[in-house]
Amino acid sequence: MSLGAQIVTEVLAKRPAITYYAIIESALVYTIKKLTDLSLPIYKMSYGLLNKRWFSKAQFKMSFLPMSFFEQYYQDSVRMSKESLVNMLISNGNYDLPQTIRETTAKVLIIAGDQELKVMIKSAQRLHQTIAGSELYLAEHMRHGELSLGHPQQFVEILKSFFE
């Protein structure tokens, strides 16, 4: 989601024939520089909280993953450097959709939750309008990443239908 989805869009834009199918879930494709600039000091100041188990657990609960994945999530959080966290925030917030994505030959499914931030829904719509023949799936009553992480069986059924 988001950063991973941005990577998919970038790959499709740079290598239009790299794949037959692509799934893009919750990609932010609008630059939100002002919000990123405002968030940056907060991320820098709160970096130390990543090492706190209680903070990681609170963040993890918003990810819709089963608790059996928490320890791996926590260990990954502890290993993340402040520089990496800041770079991820900057990269994510400064990303803008390359117009060369229009050239992709892949059959593309674009997914977003209808309870996500408006910019995420607008991003999904922009992708759908830009990529000819793409399909847009707005997951009802779902937030960022909730479909694939919180409802994996439903997600798989949607993918099966897409690949038919």
Identify residue 96 by its one-letter amino acid code: D
How far from each other are the two terminal CA atoms of the chain, in whole angstroms?
Answer: 23
pLDDT of residue 89: 86
Decide if pLDDT at 1 tops 80.
no
pLDDT of residue 85: 87
pLDDT digits over 92-109, tens only?
889 999 999 999 999 999
pLDDT digits over 16-42, tens only?
999 999 999 999 999 887 877 788 888
pLDDT of residue 7: 96
pLDDT of residue 36: 79
pLDDT digits over 67-76, tens only?
899 999 999 9
Candidates 5, 4, 17; CA nearest to 103 is 17
Give the integer Cα–Cα distance in Å for 71 and 53: 10
Fold of domain 1-31+97-164: Rossmann fold (3.40.50)
Parse the chain into domains and list their residue ranges. 1-31+97-164, 32-94
pLDDT of residue 34: 82
